[in-house]
Chains A and B, each alone.
Chain A
Amino acid sequence: GESVGLHLPTLSVQEGDNSIINCAYSNSASDYFIWYKQESGKGPQFIIDIRSNMDKRQGQRVTVLLNKTVKHLSLQIAATQPGDSAVYFCAENQAGTALIFGKGTTLSVSS
């Protein structure tokens, strides 16, 4: 079936390090992907998105890379801060309606 998933359930880094969170998807027809951050007790917060006609997109301290050949995307966070500690989800937007989420990666940043 079609699904979006993340490679690792947890990631622990030191403050100031760069973090990389990975996600694999199975539907080769997917054309829009989003990364969300969810803090405890809150709803998912949009971080960055990318469409299939792009390989890379940069935001403030974040970069998303899309490799359509192997159906993989990643989220890179530069100079990770304690406030970045949260659960990160990749999601695929299908036909403008449903967001299909993976299970999430918990990022823990220690100072």
Chain B
Amino acid sequence: ETGVTQSPTHLIKTRGQQVTLRCSSQSGHNTVSWYQQALGQGPQFIFQYYREEENGRGNFPPRFSGLQFPNYSSELNVNALELDDSALYLCASSLVLAGGGEQFFGPGTRLTVL
């Protein structure tokens, strides 16, 4: 069974640029969630995708957007990067949609905005 993978591992961008982060879900999982984890904090929910549609969104501005593909992999796009966007971005996949279920996390992408 293949676990959740994310790419790239690390990324450095400058303020105002755009970035795309990628996630491959665990085999058999159809739901992907994205989280932002600032240094020393717990992960914060950005949004979730199920069957290629956004299914829930946290308190993040529209410049954070995403996609889910037919093979359930996903992308997180961030436009007009700000210094505060520097964080660890985590992707989590799960199988069940409703009623709560275990979410399996990838290793994350460390984004630094200069």
Contacts and interface: CB of A to CB of B under 8 A. Distances in A.
A43 interface: yes
A99 B48 CA distance: 10
Chain B contact-residue range equals 20 to 34
Contacts of A43: 4, 90, 92, 105-108
Interface residues of A, number: 25
B103 interface: yes
A102 B42 contact: yes
A34 B100 CA distance: 10
Contacts of A49: 102
Contacts of A96: 96-101
Contacts of A51: 100
A98 interface: yes
